[in-house]
Structure 1
Amino acid sequence: MATTVLDRTAPTGGAPRRAPWRSPVGRPAYARPALLVIAVLAAVLYAWGINHSHYHTFYANAVRSMTQSWQAFFYGSFDPGNSITLDKLPGFLWPQALSAQIFGFHPWALTLPQVMEGVASLLVLYRVVRRWAGDNAALIASVAFLLTPVAVGLFRTAVEDPLFTLCVLLAAEATQRAAEAGRLRPLVMAGVWVGVGFQSKMLEAWVVLPALAAVYLLSAPVPLRKRLVRLGISTAVMVAVSASWMVVAALTPAKDRPYVDGTTNNSAFSMVVGYNFLNRFSSLGISAASTGSISATRGGGGHGGGQEADRGGASHGVRAGAGHPSVPSHGGRPGGFGGGGDRGQDGWSKMFGPSLASQTGWLYPLAAVAVVCGLLWRRGRPRTDRIRAGFVLWGTWLTTYFLVFSAGSVGGHTYYMGVIAVPLAALAGGGLSLLWGAYRAGGRRGWVLPGAVAATVAWGAYLAAEFPSFLPWLVPAMGALALIAVVLLVLARPGGTRRGGRVALAGLGASLAAVLLAPGAWAVQVFNPTYGSSGMGTVGPTGTHRSGHGAAMSPGSGHLKDGFGDSSGQLTSEQRKLLAFATAHQGSAEYVFATNGWNGASPYILATGAHVLPLGGFSGQVPFPTAVRFRKLVEAGKVRYVLLGQTHGMAGMFGGGTGRGTTPATRITDWVRHACARVPASAYDGAQPPTTAPARASRAAQTLYRCGPGR
């Protein structure tokens, strides 16, 4: 009968201190050097070209604002005047803001923290898998994670998921230590790490809880009652850390903090629970309108509306808003739990569709086989069996996130899949180690390895064939390697001669090459400017597959398109002249000017940190400031100039606001056009009126108005 015990090597106590690049005594000599090579390669892939990167515009505006005051830093204010927050918790931007404080405000300075978080994530993954399944399994898992396209794209993108991924990995590592030793302290630390992950990605961090709880409950070597009590303590700590920012925001008077975007009632809890969670499941008939958030199923819904906004209105203004003509064709939005949009990536089958599976799902068959075999072959073992606990951890992790993403809306946000890449890589390493042990032991179980390799390569070939114009040699190469691997494994005769052992090792090497060739070929496209990573974490081609879903990425577009607008951080000549004029005539006004949309404010905040007041929130539906409140700001002299531009709006994805005057932002716009004096462009650019139609259209796209006394 085949044995399924994984190789587990542990360092011996009292070993002499060795050079950091050499493996500890009792572990394979190649383990530490190989890990260091993998980590260096990860740093190269994640950091390649970041000196030429662009801003992820929506978030970069907030980072710029956060570098100008500690209040803006804590609350994650979109604008330097602390008028309104981002529409999510600011924790993921804190490392970026600190980096910008240290190195200056540059695109690469905002990307650098994600690179560091990526390398750290890979090292933590190695540590967890090594303690579970041994050094060889950990090295395979690290390579698999390194060569997963979405991981490469994720850790070079200035979004929430890099820090979130690192936090849940650290939580898993702490839970593993708690389950092995039955100690409370590491279990409490697991709760802390989940809470920190919550500050980055909100309720998505809690999706990992079933996996962590299952491992501790099933395998910790302490009585059940003590396990339950300790889990309760860890949960309490996790909730406290998770809710800390929201509690502070709730206890701070509204006049002393920025308005919370995404809500009709200025509540952080509404933003987290309604706007960023329930909204993502609107396809299931769930509405967030009753939570006081902007609802995806009933635009501008919620209770209180403008009255709540006026009641909570500080002397500050507002924040960004009405969308941008450069919003990607999938209609997605930055961050949150999910995004609305791409019909091609909606539904329960989207995780198997080419757009998402090509970024993260190459190892689906191998992971599935690993979980099934790991649980079945370890049945009957003691409850504290570490090997089975590892399969429970990664299998539950993969299943829960898989189901949540399948039920929710993710749009074109491929970087969401980074948290799926983690268990897939771990199961690839632990699974291959398990199957290899069964293969070498002989018997019927030994044939699962070549079968799993064949199935995984066949699935990978199917995905690669969906992009026939991209690397056309890939499918034949995969097929050839798989054939060689299977033939060698068959010829090696499990349990046979020494020569057969060498052939089997060659078969294993060919298997690894066959399985990882396709994802690796996609991952290395970060070196290719045509297929480099985008602001949505995509690496390689999109929009060219046979099913036709997805948004095509043209050469060099990347962050420019998926970052929601011009991400160069430079003002045009006309914008510089407009800003200089408004600044020169600002007087005692609190804001240089107000504008009807976050995209209208974005260039000025990004380039200069100007105090620009944006209206309507990210969706354009946020009732702050109300029309009444805005007029009071004008009468008090806090706002003197208003820049109105063409706004395409994000209201469509929130289900309302299609008519004129249906939101506070549009009511303000109507009032400005009727009550304020239009400033001719010649007053600030000194140029002759444009003579061509495109130039006239460009100038007409934005109009400056002067409001208030003495206009």
Structure 2
Amino acid sequence: MTHALHPGARSAGSARPAVPLLTRLRRGRPEDAPWVRPAFLALLLAALVLNLWSLGDSGYANSFYSAAVQAGGESWKAFFFGSSDAANSITVDKPPVALWPMALSVRLFGLGSWQILVPEALMGVGTVAVLYAAVRRRFSAPAGLIAAAALALTPVAALMFRFNNPDALLALLMTVTVYCVLRALEGARTRWLVWAGVAMGFAFLTKTLQAFVILPPLALVYAVCAPTSVRRRVGQLAAAGLALVVSGGWWVAIVELWPAASRPYIGGSQNNSFLELTFGYNGLGRINGEEVGSVGGGGGGGGRRGGETGLGRMFSDGIGGQISWLLPAALFLLVVGLVLTRRARRTDTARAAFLVWGGALLMTAGVFSFMAGIFHEYYTVALAPYIAALVGMGATLLWEERSKRLASAALGVTVAGTAVWAFVLLGRTPDYVPWLRWAVLVGGLIAAVALAVVGRLGRDGRLRALTPRLATGAVVLALAASLAAPLAYTLSTVHTPHSGSIVTAGP
């Protein structure tokens, strides 16, 4: 059933016709409409402009990490360890991989704001491109474009892809990990699953245990859905685990074995141990709130950052405007996608895609919602690719099934709910473009009604000729109403300089 829903999708293991690389870059896939590749390239260009616009206004952004970048630009030893100073007295409180692209940029082009922040902006564009490829591969070009646009216009993503915290690289590597797992699921391909392990290993060297949050759902989906024997699935997962350990553990082993007297002190640790830092301050301490040196969590006592813990945290006053614009839609479309693919075979790649992206979203959002230790609003950038993917996949799946009453109704509910939630979020900043919340609400409700009925019009011969025009108008209005509010917050983020250790998106 699901392959019939996606005429352009390939079955697991099917071969793609050989096409020269330059031709593919210029024209895209042979089955693509002529507008697909120009639209994708235009989207990447728009994302690049958003990430680079007035980038230098933020100066050295987070000076804590900029100092380490400067040190890495002067000393290769500081580069390797992630030292805060070229004299190698102490490291930052994270592994150094996120610092390396910036430090290399400084070595090549000199010290400056742009030299530090441009690598982050390019990581943002890369994340948009990888997300498009991941969604487009199994679903359709419109699904990939919607997902990519939703990611680029997420306010907290615009913030962190213009800032020098580790979260930009983490978001890129997590998206690459999911992409590799989805490729592996197509034909039980060991190589791609091993690459997923490598990507996750380097994500660990970016922000330690946060990289492993999505590991359980990804491993479980592969163990159940991969099109091969149980024995081979177990062996492939073991190979991927070994790749993760090697790619994430080589640096840890060197640091732990290096004589403490001749290396910098491990910043954030209590006994000069990276492992203690990983499982303490940056690990379980973030979950239970007992990390030594905490600057305030968000537990029941009302921490200084992140608000109260619980299921509503991602929708709260402080966090809602950062990430949750499309979160209700993503959760709803996850359920819809699983319902529509419920009768598919075990190895169906469409259902697996919903399980992978949905599992990653639920696992990460659950950890963020209940962690009682240090939590900052910008951490939620990790959710942005998962939300965007589910929105792109689910919306286009419903659109393809729009001739069915329940599918067209679900599509209308998705748009109406998104508009209503945007109205609520915009109401939390009532002095910010006051007319926008009403425009979004009215436009979204009109689009919802139009989407709910347009699929039914095609059955009436007298209205069939008008259906394509009405459908195009409804889709354009729905996209505009769904993305207008996060776009406004994103533009405000782009036009606002950000510096210091704690930053937020929006007005």
TM-score, length-scaled by structure 2: 0.91
- Cα drift, residue 235 of structure 1: 0.8
1:488 maps to which residue? 450
CA distance in 2 between partners of 1:482 and 1:133 (Å): 25
Task: Tell me, yes or no, if structure 1 residue 512 matches structure 2 residue 479.
Answer: yes
- Cα drift, residue 9 of structure 1: 4.8
Equivalent position to 1:501, from 455, 468, 473: 468
The structure-2 alpha-carbon separation of the partners of 1:360 and 1:486, relative to structure 1 and needing over 3 Å to count, comes to same
Report the 3-state secondary structure (helix = DSSP H, G, I; strand = E; otherwise coil) of the residue aligned with 1:276: helix
1:356 maps to which residue? 319
Equivalent position to 1:461, from 402, 423, 438: 423
**Higher mean C-alpha deviation, range 476-485 or range 459-468:** 476-485
Matched-pair contact (CA < 8 Å) for 1:47–1:156: yes
| Paired amino acid for 1:402 | A
The structure-2 alpha-carbon separation of the partners of 1:267 and 1:481, relative to structure 1 and needing over 3 Å to count, comes to same
Matched-pair contact (CA < 8 Å) for 1:208–1:400: yes
1:34 maps to which residue? 39
CA distance in 2 between partners of 1:487 and 1:295 (Å): 53
1:413 maps to which residue? 376
CA distance in 2 between partners of 1:384 and 1:132 (Å): 13
1:450 maps to which residue? 412
Equivalent position to 1:208, from 178, 197, 214: 214
1:472 maps to which residue? 434
- Cα drift, residue 351 of structure 1: 1.1
1:538 maps to which residue? 504
The structure-2 alpha-carbon separation of the partners of 1:99 and 1:87, relative to structure 1 and needing over 3 Å to count, comes to same
CA distance in 2 between partners of 1:108 and 1:2 (Å): 46
Task: Tell me, yes or no, if structure 1 residue 250 matches structure 2 residue 216.
Answer: no
Equivalent position to 2:168, from 162, 184, 188: 162
The structure-2 alpha-carbon separation of the partners of 1:412 and 1:533, relative to structure 1 and needing over 3 Å to count, comes to farther
Q: Which runs of 5+ in 2 are unaligned?
A: none
- Cα drift, residue 492 of structure 1: 2.4
Matched-pair contact (CA < 8 Å) for 1:491–1:500: no
2:128 maps to which residue? 122
| Paired amino acid for 1:466 | R
The structure-2 alpha-carbon separation of the partners of 1:173 and 1:105, relative to structure 1 and needing over 3 Å to count, comes to same
CA distance in 2 between partners of 1:242 and 1:370 (Å): 34
Q: Which runs of 5+ in 1 are unaligned?
A: 289-293, 297-330, 334-339, 542-711
Matched-pair contact (CA < 8 Å) for 1:2–1:443: no
The structure-2 alpha-carbon separation of the partners of 1:146 and 1:229, relative to structure 1 and needing over 3 Å to count, comes to same
CA distance in 2 between partners of 1:411 and 1:499 (Å): 55
The structure-2 alpha-carbon separation of the partners of 1:159 and 1:25, relative to structure 1 and needing over 3 Å to count, comes to same
Cα RMSD (Å): 2.3
1:102 maps to which residue? 108
After superposition, what is the alpha-carbon deviation per residue over 1:271-330, rounded to whole angstroms, capped at 9, x for unaligned? Answer: 1111111221234xxx45xxxxx464xxxxxxxxxxxxxxxxxxxxxxxxxxxxxxxxxx
Report the 3-state secondary structure (helix = DSSP H, G, I; strand = E; otherwise coil) of the residue aligned with 2:321: helix
CA distance in 2 between partners of 1:189 and 1:226 (Å): 17
Matched-pair contact (CA < 8 Å) for 1:124–1:170: yes
| Paired amino acid for 2:53 | W
- Cα drift, residue 107 of structure 1: 1.5
CA distance in 2 between partners of 1:341 and 1:245 (Å): 34
Equivalent position to 1:23, from 13, 19, 28: 28
The structure-2 alpha-carbon separation of the partners of 1:444 and 1:344, relative to structure 1 and needing over 3 Å to count, comes to closer
Higher helix share: 2
Matched-pair contact (CA < 8 Å) for 2:82–2:96: yes
The structure-2 alpha-carbon separation of the partners of 1:343 and 1:23, relative to structure 1 and needing over 3 Å to count, comes to closer
- Fraction of identical pairs, as percent: 37
The structure-2 alpha-carbon separation of the partners of 1:369 and 1:258, relative to structure 1 and needing over 3 Å to count, comes to same
The structure-2 alpha-carbon separation of the partners of 1:77 and 1:15, relative to structure 1 and needing over 3 Å to count, comes to closer
What is the total number of aligned residue pairs between the two structures?
490
Matched-pair contact (CA < 8 Å) for 2:9–2:138: no
- Cα drift, residue 395 of structure 1: 0.6
Equivalent position to 2:492, from 525, 528, 532: 525
After superposition, what is the alpha-carbon deviation per residue over 1:395-435, rounded to whole angstroms, capped at 9, x for unaligned? Answer: 10100000111122576733211110111111111011011
- Cα drift, residue 15 of structure 1: 4.2
Matched-pair contact (CA < 8 Å) for 2:58–2:498: no
TM-score, length-scaled by structure 1: 0.66
| Paired amino acid for 1:18 | T
CA distance in 1 between partners of 2:503 and 2:349 (Å): 34
| Paired amino acid for 1:419 | A
Equivalent position to 2:155, from 136, 149, 152: 149
Matched-pair contact (CA < 8 Å) for 1:66–1:80: yes
Matched-pair contact (CA < 8 Å) for 2:95–2:207: yes
Q: Report the structure number with the largest CA radius of gyration.
A: 1
Report the 3-state secondary structure (helix = DSSP H, G, I; strand = E; otherwise coil) of the residue aligned with 1:117: helix
CA distance in 2 between partners of 1:199 and 1:268 (Å): 11
